[in-house]
């Protein structure tokens, strides 16, 4: 495989095909933003419990928000070859898109030499998994899906938006 300097899009591999952490030391420090989303679908009773804040384990959305924030901050310890990134801002939003489907969106910001897409995606995944964990006693049939990047900006590749 070709390495980054030879134009391969797979920058986490060297010329011999070995995994490597990309050297971002020569990249310019710029403002970078990423937004990701995902959904969890559940039984009507589970959704009502979350909305009312009456779950046996407490404020489900509040705990899941903290879990998402913690996950973004620890992405480098969860995803091999990710850089430790100074996060300058992060928002987690919860929205019921219908009676049984809850959407999580996370926006992460940094001023650094590499982007925060993995931090946003990781935060969404862990936030949704936390909801599953807190509600599984009443609904083991919950489904997590649709975790995806919606927007990124900054760096050499500029702005990207999901069509």
Give the relative orientation of helices 60-73 and 117-135 as an angle to the nearest 10 degrees.
150
Q: Which of 3, 59, 133, 139 is catalytic?
A: 133
How far is residue 52's CA from residue 146's CA, in Å, rounded to a whole number? 25
- Edge to edge, the sheet with strand 30-41 lists 87-96, 101-112, 30-41, 143-153, 160-161
Cα 126 → chain centroid: 8
CA dihedral 151, 67, 111, 79 (to 10 degrees): -80
133 given a catalytic annotation: yes
Active site residues: 133
């Amino acid at each position: 495989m070709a390495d980054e300097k030879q134009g391969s899009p797979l920058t986490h591999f060297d010329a011999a095909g070995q995994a490597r952490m990309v050297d971002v030391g020569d990249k310019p420090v710029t403002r970078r933003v990423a937004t990701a989303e995902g959904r969890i679908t559940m039984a009507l009773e589970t959704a009502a419990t979350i909305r009312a804040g009456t779950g046996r384990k407490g404020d489900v959305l509040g705990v899941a928000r903290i879990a998402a924030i913690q996950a973004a901050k620890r992405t480098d310890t969860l995803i091999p070859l990710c850089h430790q990134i100074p996060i300058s801002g992060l928002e987690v939003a919860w929205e019921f898109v219908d009676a049984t489907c809850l959407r999580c969106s996370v926006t992460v910001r940094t001023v650094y030499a590499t982007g925060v897409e993995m931090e946003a995606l990781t935060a969404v995944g862990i936030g949704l998994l936390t909801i599953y964990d807190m509600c599984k006693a009443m609904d083991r049939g919950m489904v997590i899906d649709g975790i995806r990047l919606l927007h990124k900006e900054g760096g050499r590749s500029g702005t990207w938006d999901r069509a």
